[in-house]
Homo-oligomer: A and B are copies of this chain.
Amino acid sequence: MNPKKAVSSTDVARLAEVSRSAVSRTFTEGAYVSDDTRAKVMAAAQALGYRPNAIARSLSKRQSGLIGVVTSSLENPFYARLLSTLSTLLQSRGYGILLVVADDARFDALMESLLAYQVNGAILTTAPLTSTSAFELQRYGKPVVLVDRYLNQDLISSVSGDNERGSAAVADLLMRSGHRRIAYVSGDDRTSSNRDRRHGFIQRLATYGVALMAEESGGYSFELGTVAARKLLSLSPRPDALFCANDTMALAAVEVARVEFGLRIPQDIAIAGYDNAGPAGWPTYQLTTVDQNLEEMARVAVDLMLRKLETGDVSPEHLLVASTLVERATTRQQS
């Protein structure tokens, strides 16, 4: 065998002069062991530097104690913070984290490894619409929870920010401030969050009898956001308000408006974003945005996962986490 042999429960048992099961029991929560043997075992374990082998335990219990967490590339700080929070919470509950960083292309192939390692469940912060592996996991009785997105069929549990109400709140704000020429910079059209933000925004505008003046896709990135902003600001008449599907694009729009068009914000044009990312609060920007309450989203997602794990119930549930409008200086004070 390749690696050098580690200390096993057999070694401990021998030194402590008890059976192997005694060792197993002292390392098992709530098992019957006398204080006497427990002490002997602990002493021996200490002496040898014994640690229970989680792999062997997993094989025996057919549960690895691992939760698969799948995310896309972490360029986007929103997902980085989400992963960080999810991980911390899962760890504090005693679970290990099998991380998968997947772009859409390799998604299904990488999901295989979750199956292979017998994860107890999986939390996905990314998932191509065409993917079937999430369903497959569920078919094996492993709970799956999508965070901040859902798949069309509603067959997989999800926890999302309330994107519709969040952007409706932005619509209200813009209306109250007297804007009427309103444009939208959309994110990735394939994501449910973008669809919901767009829909909630347009619907709410409609209740005021206002229609979107224009719309461009900015793909959630700074570069594409820049391009989209340029197009929209070149229109005549120029929009007097821009709502962007995330902060990165909104900040790009602020840059373009100020640097390339010499516009004053919010006097000449109002700009709002989504996410409440770090730079949004910096003095130079003071961007009005919507906070998704990401920590709470993570907590709700982990709680849902744990509940499903306990009950063994895999049926889909869809939870919504309230978002908060953060009014700053890039939109006019309501008149």
Contacts and interface: CB of A to CB of B under 8 A. Distances in A.
Contacts of A5: 62
A109 to B, nearest CB: 9
Contact of A110 (B84, B91, B258, B283): B91
A284 B52 CA distance: 55
Contact of A2 (B4, B62, B112): B62
A69 interface: yes
A291 to B, nearest CB: 16
Contacts of A53: 59, 116, 118
Interface stretch (A94-102, A147-155, A160-168, A186-194): A94-102
Given A75-B81, A80-B77, A282-B251, A117 B96 contact: yes
Contacts of A3: 62-63, 141
A222 B282 contact: yes
Contacts of A97: 98-101
Contact of A113 (B88, B96, B112, B259): B96
B116 A1 contact: no
Interface in A153-210: none
Interface in A73-132: 73-75, 77, 80-81, 83-84, 87-88, 91, 96-101, 110, 112-113, 115-118
Interface of A: 1-6, 51-56, 58-59, 61-64, 66, 69, 73-75, 77, 80-81, 83-84, 87-88, 91, 96-101, 110, 112-113, 115-118, 140-141, 222, 251-252, 255, 258-259, 278-279, 282-284
